Amino acid sequence: MGLDRLGVDASKGLDVSLESEGLGISPDLVCTDSDLDIVSILEMTSSEVLGGVSIFVGRPRSNGAGSQTLGLFYDVYEEGLRAWLSAAVTKLTALYGAPLKCIVAQRTGMVPLGEPAVIVATAAPRRAEAIRSCADLVEGLKYQSPIFKAECLENGDRIWVVAGGQLNDA
Amino acid sequence: MPRSSSQEAVKLIFFGILGELTGCRDAMVPISGPTPLVEVLAGYLTPMQATELSVRAWVNGEPKSIEFDSLVRPGDEIALLPPSSGG
């Protein structure tokens, strides 16, 4: 879904009216090693013309009984993530033909189990575009963006992971 | 490993597992002119490691991957990225 949509070269041709509204072309990125505040992120989507808001919260989870995972460590190439996000939102805006306001908040460093590690908020005039663009952005973040994470184990080890696997054996 | 703080250098930044493999977050590598990236990386990552880890290289913050035989220039900042694992 999101991978195909964000993988195409659709970096051109934004409607000038969208640019004049300041929507769809200037996503906000928050990278912090502090707790993420979902309320303040929701407030960042505030707009009188964007009636639908979709929010995704991702947080480290236990792998079940016997898991030795304490949390996830996040390393972010912030400059690259900003560039990636800008391109992705431009593509989504063109794809859905609607102004979007997109916020990505990514926590860095060690994030304990259960605490928000990433929050993605998208606002659009209507719910369908808000929900779909949020899902697309989350998928893109997962598979394409310059964010890297490792499982932090009780014994102090870190196991670097990729979507669907581990890197340490490479 | 070569180190330099002069303008005649390339800055390497290692993300994720690459920081642990190389033992550093970033490094300045002196070069005197356009130089293949693979030569700049000598002492940090072997071509085999880069291939096995599917390492991508971004230049000066641009989300455009370059090949390891591509030329880099003094003043360039090269971000070395392992595969993404998302938020």
So what's the pLDDT on residue A12?
Answer: 34
So what's the pLDDT on residue A6?
Answer: 53
| Chain A CA closest to residue B52 | A170
Beta strands in B18-76 (DSSP E): 26-30, 35-36, 56-59, 62-65, 71-72
Residue with the larger pLDDT of the pair A167 and B77 = B77
Beta strands in A66-156 (DSSP E): 69-76, 101-107, 109-112, 118-124, 147-153
Interstrand relation of B71-72 and B35-36 (parallel, antiparallel or unpaired): antiparallel
Which residues of B make CB contacts under 8 Å with A? 13, 15-17, 19-20, 49, 52-53, 58, 61-63, 79, 81-87
Closest approach of A65 to chain B, Cα-based (Å): 24
So what's the pLDDT on residue A15?
Answer: 39
| CB spacing of B19 vs A75 below 8 angstroms | yes
Of B49, B52, B84, the CB nearest to A146: B84
- Residues of A within 8 A of B83 (CB-CB) are 162-163, 167
Q: Report mean pLDDT in 10-residue bins for chain A, 170 residues.
A: 43 38 64 95 93 97 83 95 91 92 96 97 96 96 92 93 63
Nearest to A70 by CA among A147, A151, A150, A149: A151
ipTM of the complex: 0.84
**Domain A24-162, architecture per CATH:** Alpha-Beta Complex (3.90)
Q: How many CB atoms lie within 10 A of CB A25?
A: 16
CB proximity under 8 Å: A 40-69 to B: 58
Whether the pLDDT of residue B6 is over 60: the answer is no
* pTM confidence score: 0.83
Q: By the 8 A CB rule, do A125 and A51 touch?
A: yes
- Residues of B within 8 A of A160 (CB-CB) are 16-17, 20, 82, 85
- pLDDT tens string B10-57: 999 999 999 999 999 999 999 999 999 999 999 999 888 888 888 988
Residue spans of the domains in chain A: they are 24-162
Domains of chain B, with CATH numbers? Answer: 6-81 (3.10.20.30)
